[in-house]
Amino acid sequence: MSGAGRVPHRAGRRVPAGGAPRTAVCAAPPVEVRVSPLHGLGVFALAPIERGTRIFEYLGERISHEEADRRYDHKAPHDNHTFLFIAAEDTVIDAGVGGNEARFVNHACEPNCESVIERARVYIEALRDIAAGEELTYDYQIRRERDDPPDIDALFACRCGSARCRGSMLWPRRRAP
Ligand SMILES: [Zn+2]
């Protein structure tokens, strides 16, 4: 990746296509978007959400990695008001264009949701039972890049407040073999 910007790309757990059919996406997820104590806007449960619920799909324009770089590479490195999600090797979802409320779900290190990628589509699913009023969160798993500056973790600092907060929205470094 070139340019001054360091565009954060969110990632998720890939599940193999095929096999048993997965649960359908909520027709009308019981959530609202409002100001969050974590960061900016957040998504909050209006009613209890059962573990395993596929709450919503992460929607947006489907573009190439090159197009994502072209759109956002000029942004300041610590401006993480981008909504890019890696859906497949050759596809990025830009929820800044045509996105739904899923783009406002904040990052946390001990989240109550996870991002699941199935057939190059991204879904936010409940990892556990969620009570009404709770803020939804998932781990952004922001990909590390070869040319990241040494202070990259500070640029994407996490202040989720969890006891096991790793202090960064970036995915942990691979352990030395
Ligand atoms: Zn954290």
| Digit-coded pLDDT (tens) for 74-93 | 766 555 568 999 999 999 99
Taking the centre of ligand 1 as the mean of its atom positions, its distance from the CA of residue 20, in whole angstroms, is 33
pLDDT digits (tens, 9 = 90+) for 157-173: 998 999 999 999 998 87
- The enclosing H or E element of 154 equals helix 152-155
Beta bridge partners of 41: 35
Taking the centre of ligand 1 as the mean of its atom positions, its distance from the CA of residue 58, in whole angstroms, is 21
d(CA 54, CA 32): 16
- Ranges of residues in the chain with a pLDDT under 70 are 1-6, 18-21, 75-81, 174-177
Res 8: pLDDT: 82
Taking the centre of ligand 1 as the mean of its atom positions, its distance from the CA of residue 1, in whole angstroms, is 26
Backbone angle region of 46, left / alpha / beta, with phi > 0 → left and psi within -120 to 50 → alpha: alpha
Say what the pTM is.
0.88
The CATH homologous superfamily to which domain 9-155 belongs is SET domain (2.170.270.10)
Res 2: pLDDT: 39
Res 143: pLDDT: 85
The ranges assigned to domains in the chain are 9-155
